[in-house]
């Protein structure tokens, strides 16, 4: 990768990104689509530069891989927006910007006189998006949250984990990403409104809405319609059957299975274009003489989940369990591809890097890091486009890397002014 | 924020026509956003192969028919015109080409090879409508050896890297709940589509967008991937523990399967916690005085925390902790979620009238709120219910032609 100016879909636009780690993904999505995103950090560097992992395990603010990963396609300046001079500079930047993204506690920007009502006076076309835990208003708005607390309160936590233990969260925290992603989409809807009316607006993106949505139709519907509380069941898939009088029963079968050296995931589809996958696995199990009598004579195409008995399902899936335990992940994956079975190993990062499909599609991008004297392999675009490609155009900024470029060359501050601001810890 | 008696013309995507070939989860969730904001969407199904979610239970009152699935309802909360069309009939292909001329955006979520078979790939659509925007989303993208493989959110979680880090250290990982990634991939699609529409408005050019859902959802684990590419480290599943916080967990509370999350990062928060649980001895105990000490004695610490939480309801724990500015939250079960005052404040759940299912309380709008632009919801469409309107009013067929199509099983 070399830094280039190939046009992206959103190249004419500029975003000011004040977010912390809760909101990085928002600016990254717009940056991948071509927006000129200016990441604004506190003088000395964003606290999120303390988040690991680190390049070669060296805990240095310029070596956070967390920072690097979520801030590609952004330029970087330092600015203390709590100072009067800092606020004046920020307001000047707002004049020529299209988007402002922030993820401070609700009310913080208003306190500084930088809320949407202030910014829209400076630039009526500005689109401002706030990423938060629970939203800018409502009874929980000032609740203290973390990824774990959000995960719990949003309803997804209760459903995640094994039946016999406490609910669990992903060990890599992801709760806030829903807020960041929603803010990006909301800002682009607002851009559509602006194209027609010329006016900007405010986007309120609470992570709880997205996370809450992810608990899905079964859990929400079985309570909201049938007064039944779905329980977490780990690797067991519970197929709900509703009856007359809202009675709910479940047919259970594994969705993840142990194999010789790890785990694989397989879902017994019986519908439409995916039926072949289930019958192909069945044939393989039969070939290796591991099928129960029930499985041998089963016609998957006519299996009805509403009427099949739990005993029958157990006999089928026990055959699968025994079969998988006899094979390694690699054997199963190879056989699955050959036979057209939708069976996947539970991938770790190493497996993902070696996943052939991603390599063939040139997913990975080598990004130069001259300051480290090396290049690093990054995940590439979230979509492939024929025009104005979505791609990594520049690595994440170093602390204040573009101060001179933006303050002096683009805004016209003098070098002396920049030096003064630097010494006064405004930038 | 939801519009009553919407004046559709004022919505930002009014006038944008969308031909919606999508089915199952990711595609419809993506197209919903275009309809929420005013686009006119025609959903195309066939009687032989309707949207797969129409046949996936649970069903309202346990009656399995095409209009009663919770899954289908959940994914179809925006206004669509629903038509049926047999694309294996030559006349079907002719009609879909005419619909392409009407459309600004075409979205499909089939595995690779399906629309090519009908001659409806991007190159062909472009000949009909040079500035068409086409987005195709499937599990592995439309090139490469896995392009034709069907996908599904229940298994994409395994490919995402997230299943491997969702579990306890002493047993195989449980993995994520449900089709979790079906809730990640759509918003990337919506961002692409909205950006493409803005680009087309400015340049007059359409484009083709190929989304591999796998490639998109990997954006949620970028640091884990970089930790491997740089440091060759594989992540571990740690239950609810976090390297730089303690206590950090989900603790059992009073009641049946009741739990509360507590997350303490700083020594100040620890002091507040000890005050809340009225345990001055614990506050002074050197075994727990600093983060490093608390991490070292974390198993013992977790037992002490739970010995206190078990005597309280999760609601009490949350209220007491939040008052002391300690991060804590009830582990909300589906009933709690349905009654959550914050979600209610944001009108998270909507009810819509539907001729077959009555009012199900499981419909959602967008996951954000705009200060000036409302959104419009629509109930799930019945299979083929808009055939007459679309074929005669939008495509301009005569009544005779329409009846002929019915007679020939084209629609």
At residue A306 the predicted structure's pLDDT band, cuts being 50, 70 and 90, is confident
Contacts of B145 in chain A (CB under 8 A): 337, 356-357, 360
At residue B150 the predicted structure's pLDDT band, cuts being 50, 70 and 90, is confident
Q: Taking CB atoms and an 8 Å cut-off, how many pairs form between chains A and B?
A: 532
Q: Touching check for A338 and chain B: CB below 8 Å?
A: no
Tell me how far apart the alpha carbons of residues A330 and A327 are, in angstroms, rounded to a whole number: 8
Tell me how far apart the alpha carbons of residues A138 and A153 are, in angstroms, rounded to a whole number: 15
Tell me how far apart the alpha carbons of residues B53 and B383 are, in angstroms, rounded to a whole number: 12
pLDDT for the residue numbered B6 = 53
Contacts of B342 in chain A (CB under 8 A): 134-135, 138-141, 208
pLDDT for the residue numbered A269 = 87
Query: B8-220+346-407: which CATH architecture?
Result: 3-Layer(aba) Sandwich (3.40)
State the Cα torsion B22-B25-B28-B29 to the nearest 10°: -150
pLDDT above 90 for A245: no
pLDDT above 80 for A272: no
CA-based nearest distance A295→chain B, Å? 22
pLDDT above 50 for A244: yes
pLDDT for the residue numbered B149 = 87
Quick one: average pLDDT of A240-265? 89
**Candidates A66, A216, A264, partner chain B, best to mutate (most B CBs within 10 A):** A216
CA-based nearest distance B143→chain A, Å? 7
Tell me how far apart the alpha carbons of residues B280 and B262 are, in angstroms, rounded to a whole number: 19
Q: Touching check for A150 and chain B: CB below 8 Å?
A: yes
Bridge partners of B209, per DSSP, are A385, B135
Quick one: average pLDDT of A404-421? 97
B226:A272 CB<8 A:
no
Quick one: average pLDDT of B382-389? 98
Please give the structure tokens belonging to residue B262. Answer: 């507590």
pLDDT above 90 for B199: yes
**Candidates A6, A7, A8, A9, partner chain B, best to mutate (most B CBs within 10 A):** A9
Summary mean pLDDT of chain A:
95
| Closest C-alpha to A29, from A115, A131, A106, A118 | A131
Show which residues of B are catalytic.
182
CA-based nearest distance B394→chain A, Å? 25
Quick one: average pLDDT of A15-27? 98
User: In which residue are the tokens 């970087």 written?
Assistant: A76
Whether pTM > 0.90 for this model: the answer is yes
Q: What pLDDT digit, counting tens, does each position of B82-118 carry?
A: 999 999 999 999 999 999 999 999 999 999 999 999 9
Contacts of B207 in chain A (CB under 8 A): 9, 385-388
At residue B2 the predicted structure's pLDDT band, cuts being 50, 70 and 90, is low
Contacts of B188 in chain A (CB under 8 A): 29, 181, 382-383
Please give the structure tokens belonging to residue B83. Answer: 């038509």
| Closest C-alpha to B240, from A177, A172, A230 | A172
Please give the structure tokens belonging to residue A289. Answer: 């003489």
Find the residue in A nearest to B209 (Cα). A385
Bridge partners of A206, per DSSP, are A132
At residue B289 the predicted structure's pLDDT band, cuts being 50, 70 and 90, is very high
Please give the structure tokens belonging to residue B171. Answer: 């047993």
Q: What pLDDT digit, counting tens, does each position of B239-273 carry?
A: 999 999 999 999 999 999 999 999 999 999 999 99
Specify whether the CB–CB gap between A39 and A71 falls below 8 A.
Answer: yes
Contacts of A172 in chain B (CB under 8 A): 162, 165, 221, 223-224, 235
Specify whether the CB–CB gap between B30 and B78 falls below 8 A.
Answer: no
**Candidates A13, A22, A149, A375, partner chain B, best to mutate (most B CBs within 10 A):** A149
Predicted-complex ipTM score:
0.97
Q: Could you give the residue ranges of the DSSP H alpha helices within B173-331?
A: 185-203, 213-217, 222-231, 267-276, 280-284, 291-296, 298-309, 314-323
pLDDT above 80 for A375: yes
B332:A153 CB<8 A:
yes
Using a 10 angstrom Cβ sphere, with 0-12 exposed, 13-18 middle and 19 or more buried, the burial of residue A375 is middle
- Do the first three CATH levels of B8-220+346-407 and B248-334 match, i.e. the same topology? no
A232:B37 CB<8 A:
no
Name B62's Cβ contacts closer than 8 Å, sequence gap at least 6. A241, A242, A243, A244, A247, A306
Q: What pLDDT digit, counting tens, does each position of A109-146 carry?
A: 999 999 999 999 999 999 999 999 999 999 999 999 99
Portion of chain B with pLDDT greater than 90, in percent: 92
pLDDT for the residue numbered A242 = 78
Query: Where does residue B119 fall: left (phi above 0), alpha (psi -120 to 50 degrees), or beta otherwise?
Result: left
pLDDT above 70 for A12: yes
Q: Touching check for A226 and chain B: CB below 8 Å?
A: yes
Domain definitions of chain B by residue range? 8-220+346-407, 248-334
A224:B338 CB<8 A:
yes
pLDDT for the residue numbered A243 = 74
Please give the structure tokens belonging to residue A106. Answer: 């609700």
pLDDT for the residue numbered A2 = 43
Please give the structure tokens belonging to residue A208. Answer: 């709880």
Q: What pLDDT digit, counting tens, does each position of A332-341 carry?
A: 999 999 999 9
* Structural domains of chain A sorted by starting position, each given as residue range(s) with its CATH number in brackets: 14-213+383-423 (3.40.50.10540), 255-358 (3.30.1540)
Contacts of B183 in chain A (CB under 8 A): 178, 210, 213-214, 216
CATH of domain B248-334: 3.30.1540.10
Ramachandran angles phi, psi of A390, nearest 5°: -85, 120
Portion of chain A with pLDDT greater than 90, in percent: 93
Q: Could you give the residue ranges of the DSSP H alpha helices within B239-364?
A: 267-276, 280-284, 291-296, 298-309, 314-323, 334-338, 341-345
Contacts of A152 in chain B (CB under 8 A): 250, 259-261, 329-332
Tell me how far apart the alpha carbons of residues A21 and A54 are, in angstroms, rounded to a whole number: 15
Specify whether the CB–CB gap between A244 and B64 falls below 8 A.
Answer: no
pLDDT for the residue numbered A5 = 52
Containing H/E element for A128? strand A127-132
CA-based nearest distance A188→chain B, Å? 6
pLDDT above 70 for B349: yes
CA atoms within 13 A on the CB side of A260: 9
Q: Which SS3 state, helix, strand or coil, does residue A72 take?
A: coil
CA-based nearest distance A271→chain B, Å? 7
pLDDT for the residue numbered A305 = 85
CA-based nearest distance B190→chain A, Å? 7
Specify whether the CB–CB gap between B44 and B21 falls below 8 A.
Answer: yes
Q: What pLDDT digit, counting tens, does each position of A55-104 carry?
A: 999 999 999 999 999 999 999 999 999 999 999 999 999 999 999 999 99
Q: Which SS3 state, helix, strand or coil, does residue A274 take?
A: helix
Quick one: average pLDDT of A307-320? 95
Residues in chain A: 427
DSSP 8-state secondary structure symbol assigned to residue A407: I
């Amino acid at each position: 990768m070399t830094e280039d100016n190939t046009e992206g879909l959103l190249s004419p636009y500029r975003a000011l990104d004040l977010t912390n780690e809760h909101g990085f993904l928002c600016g990254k999505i717009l940056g991948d689509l071509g927006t000129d995103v200016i990441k604004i950090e506190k003088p000395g560097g964003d606290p999120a530069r303390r988040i690991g992992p680190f390049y070669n395990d060296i805990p240095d603010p310029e070596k956070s891989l967390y920072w690097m990963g979520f801030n590609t396609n952004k330029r970087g300046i330092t600015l203390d927006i709590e100072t009067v001079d800092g606020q004046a500079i920020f307001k000047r930047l707002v004049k020529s910007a299209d988007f402002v993204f922030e993820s401070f506690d609700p009310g913080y920007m208003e306190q500084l006189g930088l809320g949407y009502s202030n910014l829209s006076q400076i630039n009526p076309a500005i689109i401002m998006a706030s990423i938060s835990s629970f939203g800018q208003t409502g009874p929980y708005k000032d609740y203290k949250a973390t990824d774990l607390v959000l995960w719990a309160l949003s309803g997804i936590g209760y459903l995640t984990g094994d039946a016999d233990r406490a609910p669990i969260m992903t060990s890599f925290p992801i709760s806030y990403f829903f807020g960041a992603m929603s803010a990006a989409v909301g800002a682009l809807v607002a851009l559509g409104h602006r194209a027609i009316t010329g006016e900007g607006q405010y986007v309120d993106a609470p992570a709880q809405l997205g996370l809450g949505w992810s608990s899905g139709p079964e859990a929400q519907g079985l309570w909201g319609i049938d007064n039944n509380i779905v329980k977490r069941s780990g690797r067991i898939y519970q197929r709900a059957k509703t009856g007359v009088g809202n009675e709910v029963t479940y047919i259970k079968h594994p969705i993840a299975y142990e194999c010789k050296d790890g785990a694989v995931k397989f879902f017994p589809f019986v519908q439409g274009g995916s039926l072949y996958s289930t019958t192909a696995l069945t044939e393989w199990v039969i070939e290796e003489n591991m099928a129960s009598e029930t499985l041998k004579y089963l016609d998957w195409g006519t299996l009805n989940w509403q009427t099949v008995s739990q005993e029958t399902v157990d006999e089928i899936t026990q055959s699968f369990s025994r079969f998988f335990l006899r094979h390694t992940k690699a054997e199963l994956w190879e056989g699955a591809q050959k036979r057209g079975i939708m069976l996947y190993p539970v991938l770790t990062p190493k497996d993902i890097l070696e996943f052939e499909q991603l390599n063939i599609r040139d997913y990975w991008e080598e990004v130069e890091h001259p300051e480290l004297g090396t290049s690093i392999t990054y995940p590439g675009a979230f979509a492939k486009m024929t025009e104005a490609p979505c791609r990594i155009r520049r690595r994440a900024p170093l602390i204040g890397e573009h101060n001179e470029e933006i303050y002096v060359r683009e805004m016209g501050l003098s070098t002396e002014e920049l030096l003064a601001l630097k010494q006064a810890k405004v930038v | 924020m939801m519009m009553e008696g919407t004046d559709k013309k004022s919505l930002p995507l009014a006038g944008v026509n969308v031909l919606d070939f999508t089915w199952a989860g990711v595609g419809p969730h993506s197209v919903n956003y275009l309809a929420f904001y005013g686009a006119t969407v025609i959903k195309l199904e066939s009687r032989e192969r309707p949207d797969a979610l129409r046949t996936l239970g649970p069903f309202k009152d346990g009656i399995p028919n095409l209009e009663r699935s919770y899954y289908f309802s959940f994914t179809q909360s925006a206004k669509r015109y629903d038509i049926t069309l047999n694309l294996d009939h030559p006349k079907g292909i002719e009609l879909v080409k005419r619909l392409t001329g009407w459309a600004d955006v075409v979205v499909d979520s089939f595995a690779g090879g399906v629309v090519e078979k009908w001659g409806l790939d991007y190159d062909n659509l472009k000949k009909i409508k040079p500035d068409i925007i086409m987005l195709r989303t499937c599990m592995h993208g439309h090139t490469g050896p896995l392009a034709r493989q069907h996908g599904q959110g229940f298994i994409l979680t395994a490919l995402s890297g997230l299943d491997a880090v969702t579990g306890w250290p002493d047993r195989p990982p449980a993995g994520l709940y449900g089709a979790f990634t079906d809730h990640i991939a759509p918003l990337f699609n919506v961002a692409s589509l909205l950006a493409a529409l803005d680009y087309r408005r400015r340049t007059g050019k359409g484009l083709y967008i190929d989304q591999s859902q796998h490639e998109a959802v990997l954006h949620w684990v970028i640091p884990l991937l970089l930790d491997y590419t740089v440091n060759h480290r594989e992540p571990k599943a740690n239950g609810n523990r976090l390297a730089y916080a303690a206590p950090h967990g989900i603790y059992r509370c009073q009641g049946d399967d009741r739990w509360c999350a507590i997350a303490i990062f700083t020594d100040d928060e620890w002091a507040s916690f000890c005050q809340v649980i009225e345990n001055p001895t614990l506050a002074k105990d050197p075994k727990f005085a600093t983060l490093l000490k608390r991490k070292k004695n974390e198993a013992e610490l977790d037992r002490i925390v739970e010995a206190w939480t078990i005597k309280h309801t999760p609601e009490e724990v949350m209220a007491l902790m939040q008052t002391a500015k300690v991060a804590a939250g009830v582990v909300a079960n589906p009933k709690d979620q349905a009654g959550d005052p914050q979600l209610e404040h944001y009108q998270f759940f909507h009810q819509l009238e539907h001729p077959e299912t009555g009012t199900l309380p499981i419909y959602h709008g967008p996951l954000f709120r705009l200060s000036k632009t409302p959104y419009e919801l629509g109930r799930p469409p019945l299979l083929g219910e808009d055939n007459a309107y679309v074929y005669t009013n939008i495509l301009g067929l005569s009544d005779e032609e329409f009846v002929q199509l019915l007679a020939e099983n084209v629609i």
